[in-house]
Amino acid sequence: MSSRVKTWGAGLVCLVLLQITASLLSHRSFGLVALSDLLQCLLLLSAVLSCLPNVFRHDGRTKLFWVLMGLGLACWLSYQFVWTYVEVIQRKDVPDLFSWDALLFLHVVPMMAALALQPNIEQRDRELRSGSLDFALLLLWWVYVYVYAVMAWQFGYADPVAYQANLQTSYSVEKVALLGGLALLWYRSSGSWRNIYAHWFGASFLYSTSSYVAIWAIGRQTYYSGSLYDLPLVLSMAWMSVPGLLALHIPAQESISAKSLPRGVWAARLGMIAVFSLPIFAWFSAFDTSIPPRVHTFRLLLTLAAMIVMGAMVFLKQHFLDIELIRLLRSSRQSFQELQLLQAQLVQSEKLASMGQLVGGAAHELNNPLTAMLGYSELLAATELTPEQRSLAAKISQQTKRVRALVSSLLSFAKQLPSSKAPVDVNAILQTCLKLSQPQMEVARVASSVEMANPLPRVHADSNQLLQVFSHIIINAVNAMSERGGTITVSTRAEGDLVVIQFADTGPGMAEPGRVFDPFYTTRPVGQGIGLGLSACYGIIQQHGGKITGRNRDEGGAVFQIDLPAAHHTAVGDFAQAQAAK
C-alpha cells in the first residue's frame, strides 16, 4: 500500500473520530450541526476524489464504470452541500418540501448503471447505441417514478406528510435495488474486484440501515444533525472512499472471464419492464379515489408524457436493432457462401490428390513398353519396306509418340515437386503469354484486350508455372472461339492483399462450369484433349496459396478468375535486380 493511500486512510479515520468525539461530548448546538455537516461534505468529497485516479488509469468500460460511480457520489455530495448551505449559512431548518431531494434520490441511478457495465468481466463490448438507449430508458423511468410518487405531493398538491412518506418509500426501493446488484456482483466476482464489491456493499448497507435509524429518530423527534444517530451515517460515508483506494492497486488489465452476467440481455429486459409498468401506474392514477383531484390529473398527464417519450425511445432502439440484424444476416449469408466455396475447393483438392497418386503409378509403368515400341517402330522404318508398309510403320510411330505425350501429361499432373518461387511481376508474365499465343489467336480470328493495373503488387510464385497456367487458359479460350472468332479480355487489379487476374472471352461458354477442374473432364472431340489441363492449373494455383474459379458470363462467354496473395515486396525492379545479382 502506497504512502499516499495510507495518508488518505488516516485522514478519513481522523474525521470519523472527530465526529464521534463531537457527538459524545457536545450537546445540541449550532456548532455541532455545522461541524457534522462540514465533516459529511468532506467525507463525500473524499469518496468522489477516490474515483478520479481510476478514471485516468483505465480505458473502455472500466473507465466508464468509475466515471458513473464518481457521478453518483458527486450528486450525493451536491445534495449534502445544499443541505449544509441551508443549515449552516442560512441557519434554517431544511424544509419538508425540499426540491433538492431529487439529487439524493437520483444519485443511485448512475451507480446502478456502473454496476451493469461489469468491468471485472472480460467480454466484447455490445452495440453502443442500444446499450446507451437501455440506460437512458431506465434513467428516465427512475425520474418518472420520483416525479410520480414524490413531486406530485410537492407541485400537484402540497402535502409534506405524503411527500416524505412517498420519498422514503421510493428511496428505499431504489437502495434495495442497488444492494441487490452489489450483492450479486460480489457473489459472482473474484480476486481484487470481489473485495471492492464487498466494501461497496458494506458501505451501502450501513448507509441504508443508518437512514432507517435516522428516520425512526425523526419520528420520535430525537434526531438532530451531529447526534449519535449520525455516527453510522458518517462511518458509511467514510467507507465509500475505500473501494476507490483499493482499486488503485488493481492492474489496469485485470479481468476475469468466468461467471459473467448477461448485462445486455438484462438491461433490455429491465427496459421493457419499465415500459410495461407505465399502464399500471396509469391505472392506479385513474382509479385511486384516495388522492386529491390535482394529484390525480398531475399523475395522468405525467404518465401519458412518459409513455410517449419512452415509446419513442423503444422505437429508436428497435430501429437500431433492425439495422444490426440486417447486417448480421448479410454477414451470415456471405459466410455461408464462403463455406460452400471452401467445401468445393476441398473436394476438388481431394479429387486431384487421389487421381495424382493413381496416374503417377500407372504412367511410370507405361513408360518402359512405350519406349520399346517407339524404338522398334523406328528400326522398322529404317529397313526396306514397301510404301504401304512404310506408311503403316509411320502410323505406329505417330500413335506411340501420342501415347508417350499422354503419359508425360499424366506424370506432369501427378508430380508434387517443390517449385522455385520468387517475387514476380504478373503483368510481365501475361504480356509474354499473349505474345506467345499470338499465332494461334490470329489463325482463330481472336482479338485480345488488355486492362492491366499499374502499379500492381508482385506475387511470390514460380514464373514458369504461372506462364503455363495463363497460356492454358488463353489457348482454351482461343479453341472455344475458333469457329466464329471473338475477343479475349485479360485484366489485372489489386484487391486488398490479393492480386486478381481475369480472363474473359466472348465464346459459347462452358457446358458444366462446376466440373471444368475435374480430372479427365473435357468437351473436345476424342483425340484433341484428355481433360487434365485445367486440373493441373488448379493444382498449381493452389500450391501458390491462391484460388481459381470459372463461370459463364450473363452476356455470353466464360470468365476465369485467379486470386493470388501479394508478396511483401511490391517494387517492380526488385525481381530484376535480384536476377542481375545472380
Backbone angles phi, psi at 491, to 5 degrees: -135, 150
Q: Which residue has the higher pLDDT, 134 or 453?
A: 453
- Average confidence (pLDDT) over 35-43: 91
Q: Which CATH number fits domain 3-248+260-291: 3.10.20, 1.10.530, 1.20.1070, 1.20.1250?
A: 1.20.1070
Indicate the DSSP class of residue 159. -
216: number of Cβ within 10 Å: 12
Q: What residues does CATH 1.10.287.130 cover in the chain?
A: 339-414
- Alpha helix positions (H), 107-159: 108-117, 128-149
Cα separation, 143 vs 108, whole angstroms: 11
Residue the block writes with cell 484428355:
530
Instruction: Specify the pLDDT at position 117.
Output: 73
pLDDT, one tens digit per residue, over 170-207 is 888 888 888 988 898 888 887 788 888 999 999 999 99
> Cβ(277)–Cβ(34) under 8 Å?
no
Q: What residues does CATH 1.20.1070 cover in the chain?
A: 3-248+260-291
pLDDT, one tens digit per residue, over 233-277 is 899 999 999 998 888 877 655 544 444 444 455 666 777 787 888
Q: Is the pLDDT of residue 578 over 60?
A: no
Cα separation, 488 vs 490, whole angstroms: 7
Cα 64–Cα 70–Cα 73 angle in degrees, nearest 5:
145
In this structure, what C-alpha cell is assigned to residue 452? 492491366
Q: Please report the DSSP string for 35-69 in residue order.
A: HHHHHHHHHHHHHHHHHHHHHHH--HHHHHHHHHH
Report the largest interatomic distance among the alpha carbons of the chain, rounded to a whole angstrom: 145
Q: Is the pLDDT of residue 66 over 50?
A: yes
Among the listed residues 498, 497, 495, 501, the one whose alpha carbon sits nearest the alpha carbon of residue 450 = 501
In this structure, what C-alpha cell is assigned to residue 506? 466472348
Local confidence band at 443 (pLDDT 50, 70, 90 cut-offs): confident
Instruction: Specify the pLDDT at position 554.
Output: 80
In this structure, what C-alpha cell is assigned to residue 414? 501427378
Residue the block writes with cell 444476416:
329
In this structure, what C-alpha cell is assigned to residue 133? 438507449
Beta bridge partners of 465: none
Q: Is the pLDDT of residue 289 over 60?
A: yes
Cα dihedral 261, 265, 270, 276 in deg (nearest 10): -160
Neighbouring residues of 126: CB distance < 8 A, sequence distance ≥ 6: 263, 264
pLDDT, one tens digit per residue, over 497-538 is 899 999 999 888 886 766 666 655 555 544 444 445 677 787
- Alpha helix positions (H), 150-190: 160-188
**CA 150 to chain CA centroid, nearest Å:** 43
Instruction: Specify the pLDDT at position 71.
Output: 92
Helices (H) and strands (E) in the chain, counts: 17, 7
* CATH class of the region 339-414: mainly alpha
CA atoms within 13 A on the CB side of 168: 15
Q: Which residue has the higher pLDDT, 329 or 132?
A: 329
Cα separation, 165 vs 96, whole angstroms: 11
Neighbouring residues of 560: CB distance < 8 A, sequence distance ≥ 6: 473, 502, 503, 548, 549, 550
Q: Is the pLDDT of residue 356 over 90?
A: no
Neighbouring residues of 484: CB distance < 8 A, sequence distance ≥ 6: 445
Domain 422-581 has CATH 3.40.50.300: no
Q: Is the pLDDT of residue 43 over 80?
A: yes
Cα separation, 378 vs 280, whole angstroms: 105
H/E stretch holding 574 = helix 574-581
Cα separation, 264 vs 299, whole angstroms: 31
Instruction: Specify the pLDDT at position 492.
Output: 92
- Kindly report the average pLDDT of the chain as a whole number: 79
Neighbouring residues of 215: CB distance < 8 A, sequence distance ≥ 6: 168
Cα separation, 169 vs 416, whole angstroms: 81
Backbone region of residue 531 per phi and psi (left: phi > 0; alpha: psi in -120 to 50; beta: other values): left
Local confidence band at 121 (pLDDT 50, 70, 90 cut-offs): low
**CA 411 to chain CA centroid, nearest Å:** 49
Instruction: Specify the pLDDT at position 573.
Output: 42
Q: Is the pLDDT of residue 307 over 80?
A: yes
pTM, entire model: 0.55
Instruction: Specify the pLDDT at position 569.
Output: 44
